[in-house]
Amino acid sequence: MASVALENIQKTYPNGFKAIHGVDVDIQDGEFLVLVGPSGCGKSTLLRMIAGLEPVTEGVMGIGGRKVNKLEPSERDIAMVFQNYALYPHMTVYNNMAYGLKIKGLPKSEIEERVKNAASILELTDEQLTRKPRELSGGQRQRVAMGRAIVRKPSVFLFDEPLSNLDAKLRVQMRMEIKRLQDDLGITSIYVTHDQVEAMTLGHRLMVLNNGEVEQLGTPLELYEHPASLFVAGFIGSPAMNMITSKISSDGKTIHIADDIELALENGGSADHTNRDVILGVRPEHLELASGSDDALPMTVTVVEHLGAETLVHGHFGNDMTDLTIRKSGILQVKAGDILPTKIRQDHIHLFDPTTEKRINL
Ligand code: ATP
């Protein structure tokens, strides 16, 4: 096991494109860090630099206290699991898992012990070990790819979207297996995904990347409860956070929404935050149906999604038709065209600066 330290890591590709602008993070021994962000934000570039598959343009890359900038991938004591499994089609499952160890020159008995041990952790049967990869399902192939990483007993696991070729049900199952495996083995892991649910459920910490820059680094709940920017607020959480253009009053104690609605601000009154435009964010589960219409946003329902355990109600309010989504547990009997008086839970609002898009803390 090993810690991984990135110090001002930057990447400029030979064509001059700057893909990573300076990333700093200390990943603790045994930690599970997830790199998450939309397509093209630089996740794979960063992971490939840690793996040694892509040279670092600037900064210091450390694994287990050693500077590894100039080391080959094979010298970094890492194992990588790819999206496309990268298995050898002509070899049996056993040989796919054993191959790296044979190259290293490990004794046959030790190879056999490690492969059998990994197969048992991953619930691959003896019979499956004799098959070729094409004779396995997608989920089983992904297990073999993980087995090949495990047998090497690396200090660090690197995962590049390992579940994206699997169907939705299998993804959930494999996600839990990866989590259990990482908990049991305690190997420092860095995992790339663009799926925020995967990121939230797997990571001890998440690094949200946007255009090659770190938007926020923190635990899943820190990001959920205190998103540092509009980008993180919109990216983490599904359905996404509602965003409402609003204004803080001249005494800073209230916030005006859609002209005629006023909300008291819990920590309001600070001279720094008076008479200013803000974007108010509120998660779908923090909107409530009001009994009366006083001080409530009149939401016109457009779409109702009954998910069984909960109901999602989508609609809009106000002249500028601001979108709103409400999440309620259980079954809510509403239909398109209904007007629902909707209240914002004041203790759960988030404020953002419309220009810098950063969080405002009152
Ligand atoms: P995805 O989720 O789609 O895989 P990503 O977040 O992993 O995206 P990267 O593959 O790291 O993104 O790419 C980051 C940026 O760098 C993109 O804008 C991409 O076009 C660019 N890029 C990647 N490889 C190269 C290259 N070899 N030369 C120039 N630009 C590149």
Q: Are residues 15 and 162 in the same domain?
A: yes
Give the pLDDT confidence score for residue 338 in this predicted structure: 95
Q: Are residues 293 and 330 in the same domain?
A: yes
Q: Are residues 63 and 179 in the same domain?
A: yes
Mean pLDDT of all residues in 199-217: 96
Number of domains in the chain: 2
Instruction: Tell whether the torsion through CA atoms of 95, 96, 97 and 99 is positive or negative.
Output: positive
Give the pLDDT confidence score for residue 5 in this predicted structure: 97
Residue 281 near ligand 1, beta carbon < 6 Å: no
Residue 282 belongs to what domain range?
A: 242-360
19 Cα to the center of ligand 1, angstroms: 7
On the question of pLDDT at 34 being above 70, the answer is: yes
Largest Cα–Cα separation, the chain: 78
Give the pLDDT confidence score for residue 340 in this predicted structure: 93
56 Cα to the center of ligand 1, angstroms: 14
Q: Is the link from the previous residue into 227 a cis peptide, with omega within 30 of 0?
A: no
Q: Among the atoms of ligand 1, which is closest to the Cα of residue 47?
A: 11
Q: Are residues 193 and 90 in the same domain?
A: yes
Residue 73 near ligand 1, beta carbon < 6 Å: no
On the question of pLDDT at 259 being above 70, the answer is: no
Q: Give me the percent of the chain exceeding a pLDDT of 90.
A: 68
The side-by-side arrangement of strands in the sheet containing 213-218 is: 78-81, 156-160, 188-193, 32-36, 205-210, 213-218
Residue 11 near ligand 1, beta carbon < 6 Å: no
Q: Are residues 262 and 181 in the same domain?
A: no
Q: 71 with 182: CB under 8 angstroms?
A: no
40 Cα to the center of ligand 1, angstroms: 5
Number of alpha carbons in the 13 Å side-chain half-sphere of residue 114 = 23
On the question of pLDDT at 293 being above 70, the answer is: no
CATH of the domain at 338: 2.40.50.140
On the question of pLDDT at 220 being above 90, the answer is: yes
Distance CA 46, CA 42 (A): 6
If one compares 25 and 292, the residue with the highest pLDDT of the two is 25
Residue 23 near ligand 1, beta carbon < 6 Å: no
On the question of pLDDT at 84 being above 80, the answer is: no
Residue nearest atom 18 in ligand 1 by C-alpha distance: 40
Q: Are residues 92 and 42 in the same domain?
A: yes
On the question of pLDDT at 59 being above 90, the answer is: yes
Give the pLDDT confidence score for residue 246 in this predicted structure: 93
Could you tell me the CA-to-CA distances from 76 to 65, 72, 199, 347 in Å, in that order? 11, 7, 25, 48
Q: Are residues 146 and 266 in the same domain?
A: no
Q: Give me the percent of the chain exceeding a pLDDT of 70.
A: 98
Mean pLDDT of all residues in 23-48: 96
pTM as predicted: 0.90
Where do we find the tokens 């069984």? 308
Mean pLDDT of all residues in 159-178: 86
Q: Are residues 123 and 247 in the same domain?
A: no
Pocket test for ligand 1, best of 15, 20, 45, 207 (most atoms within 8 A of CB): 45
End-to-end, the C-alpha distance of the chain in Å comes to 42
As given in the structure block, the two tokens for residue 9 are 């890591």
If one compares 189 and 362, the residue with the highest pLDDT of the two is 189
Q: Among the atoms of ligand 1, which is closest to the Cα of residue 48?
A: 11
Residue 19 near ligand 1, beta carbon < 6 Å: yes
Distance CA 298, CA 333 (A): 17
17 Cα to the center of ligand 1, angstroms: 10
- DSSP annotation string for 111-134: HHHHHHHHHHHTT--HHHHTS-GG
pLDDT tens digit sequence for 95-145: 999 998 999 899 999 999 999 988 988 888 999 999 999 999 888 888 899
pLDDT, averaged across the chain: 91
Q: Are residues 83 and 181 in the same domain?
A: yes
Distance CA 153, CA 78 (A): 9
Residue 40 near ligand 1, beta carbon < 6 Å: yes
pLDDT tens digit sequence for 281-290: 999 999 999 8
* Residue where a domain terminates, one of 203, 235, 267: 235
Q: Among the atoms of ligand 1, which is closest to the Cα of residue 42?
A: 11
Distance CA 295, CA 274 (A): 21
- Model confidence at 268, pLDDT cuts 50, 70, 90, reads low
Give the pLDDT confidence score for residue 254 in this predicted structure: 87
